[in-house]
Amino acid sequence: MVVHTASNRAQKSRNMVMELLLADQSDPEGEFKRWLMEMNIRESRLPGRNVIEKDQSHPAISVDLNKCIHCQLCIQACREVQGNDVIGMSARGASSTIVFDISDPMGESTCVACGECVQACPTNALLPASVLQNNGHLDADKKVDSVCPYCGVGCQVELYVKDNKITKVEG
């Protein structure tokens, strides 16, 4: 069996999927924006969805579900990588949305702020709150390699530091 991934039909299918995802994006960012640029897709011919209010109730993580493409990488990161099971999907079809616990605001959920979901998100729908406070820019003097103190596994992390304060953690 031969699979033609560069055929005209395959490229049209990929472009349509990206246009569908772009229809829900008011201002694409992150990996998703890079994918759009690589595929030379600038706008969608399809109608978008209703605007959802940003959730900045959590001290460490800001949530903008308008940027979410429902890839469920955050759910997988929370559930399977961290074992916390805080993030899930609610409803079906066009009404589906990412939820925290039982549709709580992020700040009222049982989230432990490990940041695994933030690192998994390709569209910046989930961002460190410190990045938003700096108009979307990560302001750091240096990057320090360390070990996560949360549990006994010893995962490697990178700490971004500004004025001797940690502004972001990646692991």
**Rg (the chain; Cα; Å):** 18
Quick check: 34 and 12 in contact, CB under 8 A?
Answer: no
The predicted model gives 86-92 an average pLDDT of 93
pLDDT of 135 reads: 55
Quick check: 137 and 123 in contact, CB under 8 A?
Answer: no
Report residue 115's pLDDT band, with 50, 70 and 90 as the boundaries.
confident
Q: How far apart are alpha carbons 169 and 124 in whole angstroms? A: 15
Report if residue 164 sits inside a domain.
yes
Number of separate domains in the chain: 1
Domain extent, residue 156, equals 138-171
Q: How far apart are alpha carbons 68 and 66 in whole angstroms? A: 6
The predicted model gives 113-131 an average pLDDT of 87
Report residue 32's pLDDT band, with 50, 70 and 90 as the boundaries.
confident
Report residue 156's pLDDT band, with 50, 70 and 90 as the boundaries.
confident
Q: Does the pLDDT of residue 66 top 60, yes or no?
A: yes
Report if residue 58 sits inside a domain.
no
Report if residue 23 sits inside a domain.
no
